[in-house]
């Protein structure tokens, strides 16, 4: 399947208009992380290098056709001395399938603090998911064959009072990536859509649901590399009315909190027919 370089490839066709590549896939609709990642790459291409992306907020409006390219239209909302803002709309066949706002910042000095990384099994002590999954799940995971994903077994997930649906996942890209920090940010935007909605199923493992990402927000907090191990500490604080709210904190192996994610997804019970 596609490498991350192929999945994030975009072509500039006008000053603020880009076309994202369609890549080989076995999915019936375009992976949401690819749309978000390509949209962020498009936004980055319109910003001076001295600015670093610190947050994005996106809505998945329609399912994308995986065999068709997506066109990204970038609006330059704000050009400030410390911050700038972009709005990106992904379009297929004349319809918007995704919209995102991204904010960029020139780093300043200020107070520092962060939540502690939870005590969790080392990825070295967990099997590669490709060696443990059922044939059905293994077929699905071929889509992300360039990623090493290691899910912490439920009995070893860090339990916290009042957290009803926790899940913890280690992941990294299997191959060395370019040193450009913004490429790692866009790579993480791509991968952050993977597994997060699954945290909402931890307490309902036997319920058949229709699942899809509805909206997605990320904050990039500290430098990191996506080809080093990252812990995705996930939970689902609420589910109801066919939707589930999920959230995740992403830490590097040294315990630095590098990103935070919040997503709402469709978790509609499948009808008997």
- State pLDDT tens for residues 38-71: 999 999 999 999 999 999 999 999 999 999 999 9
Is 96 within the bounds of a domain? Answer: yes
Residue 93 covered by a domain: yes
* 166 and 139 in a common domain: yes
Backbone angles phi, psi at 255, to 5 degrees: 95, 5
**Do the domain assignments include residue 215?**
yes
Instruction: Output the average pLDDT for the chain.
Output: 93
Residues 50 and 150 in one domain: no
The verdict on 93 and 164 lying in the same domain is no
Domain limit, last residue, from 107, 131, 156: 107
Could you tell me the residue range of the domain that residue 164 belongs to?
Answer: 121-273
- Give domain status of residue 113, yes or no: no
Last residue of a domain, one of 107, 138, 167: 107
184 and 65 in a common domain: no
pTM here is 0.94
The per-residue pLDDT for range 193-251, each reduced to its tens digit, is 999 999 999 999 888 999 999 999 999 999 999 999 999 999 999 999 999 999 999 99
Asked if residue 114 is part of any domain, the answer here is no
- Which residues participate in catalysis according to the annotation? 193, 213, 263
CATH number, domain containing residue 30: 3.10.129.10
Q: Are residues 67 and 138 in the same domain?
A: no
Full strand arrangement of the beta sheet holding 17-20: 10-14, 17-20, 70-79, 83-92, 95-105, 52-60, 209-220, 257-269, 243-252, 230-240, 166-173, 147-151
Please tell me the total count of domains within the chain: 2
């Amino acid at each position: 399947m596609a490498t991350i370089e192929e999945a994030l490839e975009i072509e500039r066709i006008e000053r603020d208009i880009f076309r994202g590549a369609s890549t080989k896939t076995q999915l019936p609709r375009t992976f949401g992380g690819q749309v978000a990642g390509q949209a962020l790459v498009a936004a980055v291409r319109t910003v001076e290098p001295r600015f670093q992306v610190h947050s994005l907020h996106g809505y998945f409006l329609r399912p994308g056709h995986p065999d068709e390219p997506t066109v990204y239209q970038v609006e330059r909302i704000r050009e400030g001395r410390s911050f700038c803002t972009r709005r990106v709309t992904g379009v297929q066949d004349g319809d918007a399938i995704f919209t995102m706002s991204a904010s960029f910042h020139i780093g300043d000095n200020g107070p520092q603090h962060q939540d502690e990384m939870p005590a969790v099994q080392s990825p070295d002590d967990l099997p590669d998911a490709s060696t443990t999954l059922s044939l059905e799940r293994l077929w699905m995971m071929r889509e992300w064959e360039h990623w090493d994903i290691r899910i912490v077994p439920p009995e070893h997930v860090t339990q916290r009072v009042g957290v009803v649906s926790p899940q913890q996942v280690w992941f990294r890209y299997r191959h060395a990536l370019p040193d450009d920090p913004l490429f790692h940010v866009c790579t993480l935007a791509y991968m952050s859509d993977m597994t997060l909605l699954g945290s909402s199923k931890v307490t309902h493992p036997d319920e058949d649901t229709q699942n899809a990402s509805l909206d997605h927000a990320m904050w990039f907090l500290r430098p990191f590399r996506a080809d080093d191990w990252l812990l995705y500490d996930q939970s689902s604080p609420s589910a109801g009315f066919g939707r589930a709210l999920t959230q995740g904190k992403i830490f590097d192996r040294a315990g630095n909190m590098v990103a935070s994610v919040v997503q709402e997804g469709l978790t509609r019970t499948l009808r008997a027919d």
